[in-house]
């Protein structure tokens, strides 16, 4: 039997023999494409080639691509674990033709690989072809049918509808008819009873699609219509895990060697056998699957977080924790303990799992711990809700409450309903659904964006970026389009060449202007969509065909370059001071500051921070020149020891940026010599996740004014202290003097209290068996309380009213002996509330002691009178 490793290699070798270039998987987390969060198919990394944004580097390509289908057009999340053949993260094997071969070879080779090389029995295979669509004015794909008819009997070639047999990446973009290969894995007996052709595309777990051959020949436009692409392409995708299932003779992806060790470990930790029950099986599959998605994401540098891709990853992990919690009784973190098994299974094909293992484990463990705590808090809250429901005599927990649990505490509906059921309650699912819909609508409205089609002004293969050498240049518009987002419209312009840097690699995009005799237009941002540089403007030039002079905002670019180069120096210094485990996990560079996230497991000490600053500033003073190689073969760059990041997509030829010992692969804009940075200053160091630290720093003028501000503060302190030579000694002196003074004041106050008390006692009015004191005093609140309690202890049958003035505000205190409270039904709380009205205030307390604070000092006498009147 072939192992999964051998199967992967067999596929790549087969196509290598057919002159396909093998390329590495692109990262699973997509960077630099605002329309896509995660790679959801093998073709994503070739989008620019399909769209003609840039020429294809190879005409034939094969690879295995890490895909994640948990959001957007392809979202399988809710299926995963419940069935045995959909994953969140999976490998998609693919072969491509860019303007080279088409349907004939694609189908013949697929057949050759599956049947002749892998030995799958022909009579289990079915093919589908696109039946056509009147909506798109497309007829049936007879061409594909004829080719299939050379391999399969006609009754095993089926027509498929647009949903199954017309592949689209998103709402717009490259697409085309496709032809799927399905396999029937049922027993001979079952196959006798019901022919497989009746089960194709019917969600039968044993009659499934394994390979999809897509013939990409159209581009879907914003208005839904199709246009022909410049060249015809082939894009195929085969589920690697499904292929392994077929070739290893099992009937579930989870029974292949890809998942077996993980499942075994989960079973041993839980003490429950895989196969013992439906629910526990599902939970084990969910965990085994999600482990992969989350580990790969973190290894690529995408940490779980509260927004965007990070939030999706967090939710996947939480789904796994929750299944473990509910069905396998996991109360402590478990998933991080599986990373080691995953590394053993997949580490040789994906070495990032080996190098990032420690980080992946730490991050997952911390996430698990924090979510388990949330689960506990949520369960406490749910208890209260159930109590409330029962008290109200209701049978179902309010939908709004259930939604709060879901939204604020990440509490899934099925968990809530499970716990409710254990207490004999249901949940108001309709109410929940309503809240959910309302929330979805809110976020839809917030995210809604309407992108119009490109308007082509002139033919252009790809934009030449001039910005490494020039900040000004003559440009022509190649194409433009309108975008409307939250009611605001703007334009995206693509030039034939441009000095503007498009936001990428953590560096923000350039701003500036384009102008000619007729007009001047502001570029308020420059972005990158894959390799396309897009300039954003509020308005469209009145003559798009005209020639423009483009000018980048020099000041902003210079400040940004300072921060970008400083980031490289910082990276190298961190590795020098802390060790080579330091790796970049995130970076932001703009004109104001730089932010650098990196793996390191402890808080940096003050000494370490100082050492890093010292090294960076020394490098700045060395004034190292930029040594740049814009097109170095990636292997040479590796040999040079250039820093490369996982999760970054590097081509065969890369740009290397070197300043002294710092060597990085980088597309950003830099200073020409480090001396320009002037000064580097770290302003904060903090944690952003388990094992990931963040440094924020500033350079040049910003650093200078930061240092000056600090010095100014020191000077003002010195002035306040009346200019001692040694400020520290001055402050220490004041502090110790202060301690002495505080003690003196305390002693003095005690003395004052004694005198005041004696004075008050001498003024007691005895009436009807009550000792009445009513006086105005000037004391702070703590002392008044002290005084009132002392008097109460020393005088029987006391009715005490104290009016106070504290920092210009009136206050009222009433203290009544307990005996009086009982006998005469007096209540100090009620009294101060009533009497407090006279000073425009409120308050309260207990029946024997209460206070009120107010705003109107002139009413103090009246308030005291009023209080007395209750006697």
H or E segment to which residue 646 belongs: none
Closest distance to ligand ATP from the beta carbon of 175 (Å)? 12
Q: Which is nearer to ligand ATP, 209 or 428 (CB)?
A: 209
Restricted to residues 622-651, the positions that interact with ligand ATP (CB under 6 A) are: none
Q: Which is nearer to ligand ATP, 70 or 385 (CB)?
A: 70
Q: Which is nearer to ligand ATP, 94 or 810 (CB)?
A: 94
Closest distance to ligand ATP from the beta carbon of 242 (Å)? 5
For position 397 contacting ligand ATP by CB under 6 A, the verdict is no
Q: CB of 378 within 8 A of CB of 405?
A: yes
d(CA 210, CA 214): 13
d(CA 816, CA 366): 55
* Close Cβ partners of 422 (under 8 Å, ≥ 6 residues apart): none
For position 69 contacting ligand ATP by CB under 6 A, the verdict is yes
Q: At 259, list the tokens.
A: 């998942």
Tell me which of 131, 184, 209, 428 binds ligand ATP, using CB under 6 A: 209
For position 86 contacting ligand ATP by CB under 6 A, the verdict is yes
Q: How many C-beta atoms lie closer than 10 Å to residue 504's C-beta?
A: 18
For position 38 contacting ligand ATP by CB under 6 A, the verdict is no
Closest distance to ligand ATP from the beta carbon of 257 (Å)? 16
For position 184 contacting ligand ATP by CB under 6 A, the verdict is no
For position 210 contacting ligand ATP by CB under 6 A, the verdict is yes
- The burial class, CB within 10 Å (0-12 / 13-18 / 19+), for 221 is middle
Region binding ligand ATP by CB under 6 A among candidate stretches 85-93, 268-276, 353-361, 564-572: 85-93
* Close Cβ partners of 747 (under 8 Å, ≥ 6 residues apart): none
Region binding ligand ATP by CB under 6 A among candidate stretches 150-158, 205-213, 327-335, 613-621: 205-213
Q: Is 335 helix (H, G, I), strand (E, B) or coil?
A: helix
User: How, if at all, do strands 74-75 and 70-71 pair?
Assistant: antiparallel
Region binding ligand ATP by CB under 6 A among candidate stretches 82-90, 99-107, 325-333, 590-598: 82-90
Q: How many CA atoms lie within 13 A of 342 on its CB side?
A: 28
Restricted to residues 233-252, the positions that interact with ligand ATP (CB under 6 A) are: 237-239, 241-242
For position 595 contacting ligand ATP by CB under 6 A, the verdict is no
Strands in 634-736 per DSSP E:
653-659, 662-665, 680-689, 692-699
For position 285 contacting ligand ATP by CB under 6 A, the verdict is no
Q: CB of 148 within 8 A of CB of 129?
A: yes
Region binding ligand ATP by CB under 6 A among candidate stretches 8-16, 22-30, 86-94, 813-821: 86-94
H or E segment to which residue 228 belongs: strand 226-239
Region binding ligand ATP by CB under 6 A among candidate stretches 202-210, 572-580, 633-641, 742-750: 202-210
d(CA 541, CA 815): 80
Which is nearest to 461 in space by CA: 49, 30, 760? Answer: 49
Q: At 617, list the tokens.
A: 């500033």
Q: CB of 599 within 8 A of CB of 581?
A: yes
Tell me which of 92, 427, 604, 642 binds ligand ATP, using CB under 6 A: 92
Sign of CA dihedral 715, 721, 726, 732: negative
Closest distance to ligand ATP from the beta carbon of 631 (Å)? 34
Q: Which is nearer to ligand ATP, 48 or 76 (CB)?
A: 76
Closest distance to ligand ATP from the beta carbon of 89 (Å)? 8
d(CA 89, CA 280): 21
Strands in 650-783 per DSSP E:
653-659, 662-665, 680-689, 692-699, 765-767, 770-777
Which is nearest to 110 in space by CA: 178, 204, 206, 22? Answer: 178
Q: Which is nearer to ligand ATP, 290 or 571 (CB)?
A: 290
Which is nearest to 141 in space by CA: 128, 153, 131? Answer: 131
Closest distance to ligand ATP from the beta carbon of 236 (Å)? 8
Closest distance to ligand ATP from the beta carbon of 112 (Å)? 18
Tell me which of 49, 166, 211, 327 binds ligand ATP, using CB under 6 A: 211
Q: Which is nearer to ligand ATP, 152 or 626 (CB)?
A: 152
Q: Which is nearer to ligand ATP, 211 or 432 (CB)?
A: 211
d(CA 714, CA 727): 8
Residue whose tokens read 């892998």: 118
Tell me the number of residues near ligand ATP by CB under 6 A.
16
For position 435 contacting ligand ATP by CB under 6 A, the verdict is no
Which is nearest to 651 in space by CA: 633, 663, 628? Answer: 633
Region binding ligand ATP by CB under 6 A among candidate stretches 8-16, 231-239, 746-754, 755-763: 231-239
For position 401 contacting ligand ATP by CB under 6 A, the verdict is no
Q: Which is nearer to ligand ATP, 281 or 401 (CB)?
A: 281
For position 325 contacting ligand ATP by CB under 6 A, the verdict is no
For residue 346, CA distances in Å to 26, 77, 257, 269, 721 come to 16, 22, 10, 21, 66
Region binding ligand ATP by CB under 6 A among candidate stretches 137-145, 232-240, 393-401, 657-665: 232-240
Q: Is 18 helix (H, G, I), strand (E, B) or coil?
A: coil
For position 177 contacting ligand ATP by CB under 6 A, the verdict is no
For position 90 contacting ligand ATP by CB under 6 A, the verdict is yes
Q: Which is nearer to ligand ATP, 82 or 354 (CB)?
A: 82
Q: Which is nearer to ligand ATP, 64 or 531 (CB)?
A: 64
Q: Which is nearer to ligand ATP, 292 or 571 (CB)?
A: 292
For position 160 contacting ligand ATP by CB under 6 A, the verdict is no
Region binding ligand ATP by CB under 6 A among candidate stretches 58-66, 207-215, 710-718, 816-824: 207-215
User: How, if at all, do strands 166-168 and 809-816 pair?
Assistant: unpaired
d(CA 168, CA 174): 7
Q: Which is nearer to ligand ATP, 47 or 702 (CB)?
A: 47
Q: Is 732 helix (H, G, I), strand (E, B) or coil?
A: helix
Closest distance to ligand ATP from the beta carbon of 87 (Å)? 4
For position 535 contacting ligand ATP by CB under 6 A, the verdict is no
d(CA 319, CA 819): 62
For residue 58, CA distances in Å to 49, 55, 630 come to 10, 9, 21
For position 83 contacting ligand ATP by CB under 6 A, the verdict is no
For position 316 contacting ligand ATP by CB under 6 A, the verdict is no
Q: At 493, list the tokens.
A: 């312009």
H or E segment to which residue 202 belongs: none
Q: Which is nearer to ligand ATP, 255 or 608 (CB)?
A: 255
Q: Which is nearer to ligand ATP, 209 or 503 (CB)?
A: 209
For position 87 contacting ligand ATP by CB under 6 A, the verdict is yes
* Close Cβ partners of 548 (under 8 Å, ≥ 6 residues apart): 474, 475, 476, 477, 514, 515, 516, 521, 541
Closest distance to ligand ATP from the beta carbon of 484 (Å)? 30
Q: Which is nearer to ligand ATP, 94 or 647 (CB)?
A: 94
Per-residue contact flags (x/-) with ligand ATP for residues 756 to 785, judged by CB under 6 A = ------------------------------
In the bound state, the residue with its beta carbon closest to ligand ATP is 239
For residue 281, CA distances in Å to 452, 688, 702 come to 47, 35, 58
Residues that bind ligand ATP (CB under 6 A): 69, 76, 86-87, 90, 92, 208-212, 237-239, 241-242
């Amino acid at each position: 039997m072939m192992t999964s490793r051998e199967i992967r290699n067999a596929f790549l070798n087969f196509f290598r023999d057919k002159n396909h270039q093998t390329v590495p998987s692109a990262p699973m987390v997509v960077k630099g494409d605002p329309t896509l969060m995660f790679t959801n198919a093998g073709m994503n990394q070739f989008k620019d080639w399909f769209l003609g944004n840039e020429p294809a580097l190879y005409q034939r390509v094969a690879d295995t691509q890490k895909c994640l289908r948990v959001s957007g057009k392809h979202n399988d999340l809710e299926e995963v674990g419940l069935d045995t053949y959909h994953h969140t993260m999976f490998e998609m094997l693919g072969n491509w033709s860019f303007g080279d071969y088409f349907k004939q070879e694609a189908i013949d080779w697929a057949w050759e690989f599956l049947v002749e090389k892998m030995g799958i029995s022909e009579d289990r295979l079915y093919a589908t072809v696109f039946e056509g669509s009147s909506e798109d004015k497309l007829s049936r794909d007879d061409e594909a049918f004829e080719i299939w008819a050379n391999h399969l009997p006609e009754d095993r070639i089926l027509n498929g509808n647009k949903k199954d047999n017309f592949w689209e990446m998103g709402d717009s973009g490259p697409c085309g008819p496709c032809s799927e290969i399905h396999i029937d894995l049922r027993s001979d007996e079952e196959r006798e009873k019901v022919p497989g052709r009746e089960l194709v595309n019917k969600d039968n777990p044993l009659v499934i699609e394994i390979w999809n051959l897509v013939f990409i020949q159209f581009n879907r436009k914003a208005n839904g219509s199709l246009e022909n692409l410049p060249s015809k392409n082939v894009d195929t995708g085969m589920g690697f895990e499904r292929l392994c299932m077929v070739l290893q003779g099992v009937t579930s992806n989870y029974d292949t060697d890809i998942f077996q060790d993980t499942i075994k470990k989960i079973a041993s930790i839980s003490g429950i056998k895989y196969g013992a029950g439906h629910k526990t099986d599902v939970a084990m599959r969910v965990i085994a699957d999600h482990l992969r998605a989350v580990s790969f994401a973190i290894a690529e540098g995408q940490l779980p977080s509260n927004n965007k891709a990070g939030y999706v990853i967090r939710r996947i992990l939480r789904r796994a924790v929750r299944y473990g919690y509910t069905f396998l009784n996991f109360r402590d973190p478990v998933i991080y303990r599986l990373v080691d098994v995953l590394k053993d299974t997949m580490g040789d094909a994906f070495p990032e799992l080996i190098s990032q293992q420690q980080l992946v484990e730490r991050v997952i463990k911390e996430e698990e711990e924090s979510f388990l705590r949330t689960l506990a808090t949520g369960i406490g809250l749910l208890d209260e809700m159930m109590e409330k429901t029962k008290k109200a005599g209701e049978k179902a927990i309010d939908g709004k409450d259930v939604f709060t649990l879901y939204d604020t505490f990440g509490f899934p509906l099925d968990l809530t309903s499970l716990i409710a059921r254990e207490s004999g309650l249901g949940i108001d699912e309709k109410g929940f659904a309503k809240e959910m819909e309302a929330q979805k609508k809110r976020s839809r409205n917030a995210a809604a964006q309407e992108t119009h089609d490109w308007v082509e002004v002139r033919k252009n293969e790809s934009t030449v970026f001039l910005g490494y050498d020039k900040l000004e240049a003559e440009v022509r518009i190649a194409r433009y389009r309108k975008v409307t987002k939250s009611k605001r419209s703007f334009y995206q312009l693509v030039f034939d060449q441009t000095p503007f840097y498009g936001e990428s690699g953590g560096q923000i995009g350039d701003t500036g202007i384009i102008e000619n005799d007729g007009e001047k237009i502001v570029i308020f941002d420059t972005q990158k969509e894959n390799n396309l540089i897009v300039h954003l403007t509020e308005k469209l030039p009145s003559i798009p065909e005209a020639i423009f002079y483009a000018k980048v905002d020099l000041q902003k670019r210079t400040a940004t370059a300072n921060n970008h180069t400083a980031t490289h120096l910082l990276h190298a210094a961190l590795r020098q001071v802390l060790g080579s485990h330091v790796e970049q996990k995130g970076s932001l560079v703009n004109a104001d500051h730089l932010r650098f996230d990196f793996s390191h497991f402890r808080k940096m000490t003050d000494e370490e921070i100082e050492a890093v600053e010292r090294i960076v500033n020394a490098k700045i003073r060395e004034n190292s020149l930029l040594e740049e190689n814009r097109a170095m073969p990636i292997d040479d760059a590796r040999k040079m020891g250039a820093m490369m990041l996982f999760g970054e997509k590097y081509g065969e030829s890369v740009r290397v940026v070197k300043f002294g010992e710092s060597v990085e692969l980088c597309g950003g804009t830099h200073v020409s010599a480090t001396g320009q940075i002037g000064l580097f200053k770290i302003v904060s160091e903090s944690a952003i996740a388990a094992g990931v630290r963040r440094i924020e720093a500033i350079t040049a003028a910003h650093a200078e004014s930061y240092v000056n501000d600090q010095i100014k503060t020191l000077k003002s302190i010195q002035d306040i202290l009346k200019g001692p030579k040694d400020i520290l000694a001055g402050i220490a002196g004041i502090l110790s003097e202060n301690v002495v003074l505080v003690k003196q004041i305390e002693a003095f106050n005690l003395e004052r209290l004694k005198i005041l008390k004696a004075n008050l006692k001498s003024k007691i009015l005895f009436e009807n068996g009550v000792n009445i004191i009513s006086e105005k005093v000037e004391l702070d609140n703590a002392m008044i309380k002290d005084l009132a309690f002392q008097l109460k202890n020393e005088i029987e049958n006391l009715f005490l009213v104290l009016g106070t003035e504290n920092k210009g505000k009136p206050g009222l205190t009433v203290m009544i002996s307990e005996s009086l409270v009982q006998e005469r039904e007096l209540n100090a709380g009620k009294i101060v509330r009533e009497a407090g009205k006279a000073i425009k205030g409120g308050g309260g307390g207990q029946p024997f002691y209460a206070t009120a604070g107010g705003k109107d000092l002139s009413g103090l006498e009246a308030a005291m009178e009023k209080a007395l009147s209750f006697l």
